[in-house]
Chains A and B, each alone.
Chain A
Amino acid sequence: MAALSVALTGNPNTGKSTIFNELTGARQKIGNWPGVTVDKKVGVIEHNGRKISVIDLPGTYSINARSQEEQVVSDYFKENKPDIVVNIIDASNIARNLFLTVQLMENGIPLIINLNMMDEAQRHGIKIDMKKLEDAFGMPVTNTVGRSNKSVRKLLDVFTNAVMTNYEPSKMIREHINKVRNIQQSGLAASKIEEEIISARYDLIDKIMSSAVTVSAAGKTLTDKLDSYLANGISSLVLMVVAFYLMFQISFNWIGQPLADLVGEFFDETLVPWAADTMAEAGVADWMQSLVSDGIIAGVGAVINFVPLIFTLFIILSFLDGTGYMARVAFIMDPIMRRVGLSGKSIMPLVMGFGCGVPAIMANRALDNHKDRMISIFVTPFITCNAKIPIIVLFAAMFFPDNVANVVFAMYFLGIITAILMAKILGETLFKGQESTFLLELPPYRLPDIKTVLLEAWDKGKGYLIKAGTIIFAMSVIIWFLSSFNSDGMTEDMDNSYLAGIGSATSVVFAPQGFDTWEAGAAVVTGILAKEAVVSTLGILYGVDDELSTEDEDVGESAETMMATSMGGAFTPLSALAFMVFSLLYSPCMTALGTIKKEAQSFKWMAFVFFYTTAVAWVASLIVYQGGKLLGFE
Chain B
Amino acid sequence: MTLNETKTGMTVRIDSLGESKLKQRLMTMGLIPGTRVEILHSAPLGDPIALRLRSYNLAMRKADAAQIQVSEV
Contacts and interface: CB of A to CB of B under 8 A. Distances in A.
Do A and B come together as binding partners?
yes
Interface of A: 61-62, 64, 66, 92-96, 99, 124, 126, 191, 194-195, 198-199, 202, 215, 223-224, 227-228, 231-234, 236-237, 327, 331-336, 338, 344, 435, 437-444
Contact of B50 (A61, A237, A442): A442
A224 B9 CA distance: 12
B43 to A, nearest CB: 5
A441 B57 contact: yes
Contacts of A93: 54-56
A224 B43 contact: no
B58 A441 contact: yes
Contacts of B40: 224, 227
B49 to A, nearest CB: 9
Contacts of A332: 43-44
B30 interface: yes
Given A232-B42, A438-B48, A64 B55 contact: no
Interface in B23-41: 23-30, 32-33, 35, 40-41
A334 B48 contact: yes
Contacts of A228: 41
Given A215-B55, A441-B57, A442-B58, A331 B43 contact: yes
B72 interface: no
A124 B55 contact: yes
Contact of A438 (B23, B27, B60): B60
A319 B24 CA distance: 32
9 contacts: A66-B24, A95-B30, A236-B43, A336-B44, A439-B29, A439-B60, A440-B59, A443-B57, A444-B57
A99 B30 contact: yes
B30 A96 contact: yes
Contacts of A327: 59
Contacts of A94: 55
Interface residues of B, number: 31
B60 A96 contact: no
B55 A231 contact: no
Contacts of A335: 43-45, 47-48
A407 B66 CA distance: 46
A437 B32 CA distance: 19
Contact of A92 (B23, B44, B50, B55): B55
Interface in B52-73: 54-61, 64
- Complex A-B, nearest 3 residue pairs according to Cβ-Cβ distance, in ascending order: A95-B54, A442-B57, A232-B41
B66 to A, nearest CB: 13
Contacts of A441: 29, 56-59
Nearest to B60: A439
B22 interface: yes
Given A232-B41, A233-B44, 6 more contacts: A126-B55, A195-B23, A195-B27, A198-B24, A331-B50, A439-B29
B56 A96 contact: yes
A435 B21 contact: yes
A234 B50 contact: no
A438 B61 contact: yes
Nearest to A332: B43
A237 B44 CA distance: 8
A439 B26 contact: yes
A33 to B, nearest CB: 22
A441 B51 CA distance: 10
Contact of B24 (A191, A215, A333): A191
A286 to B, nearest CB: 64
Nearest to A237: B44
B29 to A, nearest CB: 6
A199 B32 contact: yes
A344 B59 CA distance: 11
Contacts of B50: 227, 231, 331, 442
Given A227-B40, A227-B41, A439-B22, A334 B29 contact: no
A435 B25 CA distance: 15
Contacts of A233: 41-42, 44
B26 to A, nearest CB: 7
Nearest to B22: A437
A443 B59 CA distance: 10
B14 to A, nearest CB: 11
A236 B50 CA distance: 14
